[in-house]
Amino acid sequence: MTASAGASPELAIESSGLTKRFRTQTAVDAIDLAVPRGSVFGFLGPNGSGKTTSIRMLLGLVSPSQGEVRVLGESMPERLRDVLPRVGALVEGPAFYPFLSGQANLHRLDTADRHAPRRTRGARIDAALERVGLTNAATKKAGAYSLGMKQRLGIANALLSPRDLLVLDEPTNGLDPQGTREVRNLVSSFAAEGTTVFVSSHLLAEVEQMCTHAAIMSAGRIVAQGSLDDLRGAGESHVRVRTPDAETAESVLARFGLLPKREGRTDSHAEVSALLPATTDLDPDRILPALLEAGVRVRGYGIEEASLEERFVALTGEGFDVVS
């Protein structure tokens, strides 16, 4: 199948100026997404930041008010019929017939897929249930499933056929720590097989542990995106010095244009720190030699990169849940 003209072969999802308005409210404001093929891409932002609306546009479930989007090289929603068979999705939580078993639910869903081969249906359903750890609950009614089990059944549905792209909206919602680890391992296994995984989440810890790349949403806009290392590196870092010569250390740091502060004293040693702005031209490697040359007795020294939490809060002005 030939990709749409202008599509990048290196990107599984790309959008340009993608916008969604509901009357006078702009839910998604001109976002430009670039999701590399083979990545585990975290779509991160507080609840209500526009993540789910964006996903619905990516999948052709709602039409954008403005802008363009390509999924697997094809324009959406124009090429929806060609694209969706190659995409597995779990959006806004799974919905199943409560009076049917997990296995029967998957059978109905697979039957509704005109691209799914009937001959292999039973084997594919069994394999999907086994992969998400629901084999023992396959004949149990879905209405008796816990929320975590329903999440895993939703992922099993997304796995009924081979997929080039998986889109998972809050996949660890309602899961206990063990279930969360299982989903994390599943996502890692998908990526290892070459599948691109797009994970929407408001949980910072999950994005850090699962993803290779991320985009940060705030109030309908993407405020940053890239690899996790790039996102961390774009933030501010700190130089920290542990020394009994706090005043001299502060004087040296001030000569570099930094604003040192004393953070505490332990066993006659003070902790002195200073912020290194992301825009500074200062070479951090110059600091330690200058401290030693000034006679500062350095008992501990380090430059700490900004955490993702600090970076995200700085970008959005809002806090993120940092535990699952």
- How much of the chain, in percent, has pLDDT values that exceed 70? 87
Tens digits of per-residue pLDDT, 163-203?
A: 899 999 888 877 778 778 888 888 888 888 889 999 998 77
pLDDT for position 203: 78
Closest CA to 127 of 95, 174, 162: 162
- What mean pLDDT is predicted for residues 32-61? 91
- What's 85's DSSP letter? G
Q: How confident is the model at residue 5 (pLDDT cuts 50, 70, 90)?
A: low
Q: What DSSP line would sit under 131-178, residue for residue?
A: HTT-GGGTTSBGGGS-HHHHHHHHHHHHTSS--SEEEEESTTTT--HH
Tens digits of per-residue pLDDT, 83-124?
A: 988 998 888 766 799 999 999 999 999 998 888 889 999 999
The least confident of 126-130, 138-142, 220-224, 278-282 is 278-282
Q: Are 89 and 158 in contact (CB under 8 A)?
A: yes
pLDDT for position 229: 78
Give me Rg for the CA atoms of the chain: 24
> Domain spans of the chain?
11-232, 236-305
Q: Are 214 and 44 in contact (CB under 8 A)?
A: yes
* Distance from C-alpha of 134 to C-alpha of 151, rounded to nearest angstrom: 11
Closest CA to 272 of 255, 251, 257, 292: 251
Q: How confident is the model at residue 279 (pLDDT cuts 50, 70, 90)?
A: low
pLDDT for position 140: 95
CB-count burial class (<10 Å; 0-12, 13-18, 19+) for 71:
buried
Q: State the average pLDDT for the chain.
A: 85
Tens digits of per-residue pLDDT, 283-316?
A: 888 999 999 999 999 988 888 776 676 667 666 6
Number of C-alpha atoms within 13 angstroms, CB side, residue 199? 32
pLDDT for position 46: 80
Q: Which fold has domain 236-305?
A: Alpha-Beta Plaits (3.30.70)
Q: How many CB atoms lie within 10 A of CB 247?
A: 12
CB-count burial class (<10 Å; 0-12, 13-18, 19+) for 240:
middle
pLDDT for position 138: 94
Give CATH for domain 11-232: 3.40.50.300
Q: Are 77 and 60 in contact (CB under 8 A)?
A: yes
Residue recorded with tokens 């720190």: 273
Residue recorded with tokens 């430059």: 303
- What mean pLDDT is predicted for residues 5-27? 87
- Straight-line distance from the first to the last Cα atom of the chain, in angstroms, rounded to the nearest whole number: 40
- How much of the chain, in percent, has pLDDT values that exceed 90? 39
Q: Are 19 and 30 in contact (CB under 8 A)?
A: yes
- What mean pLDDT is predicted for residues 210-220? 90
Q: How confident is the model at residue 322 (pLDDT cuts 50, 70, 90)?
A: very low
* Distance from C-alpha of 42 to C-alpha of 298, rounded to nearest angstrom: 40
Instruction: Return the ∠ at Cα 155 (arms to 309 and 40), rounded to 5°.
Output: 40
pLDDT for position 323: 41
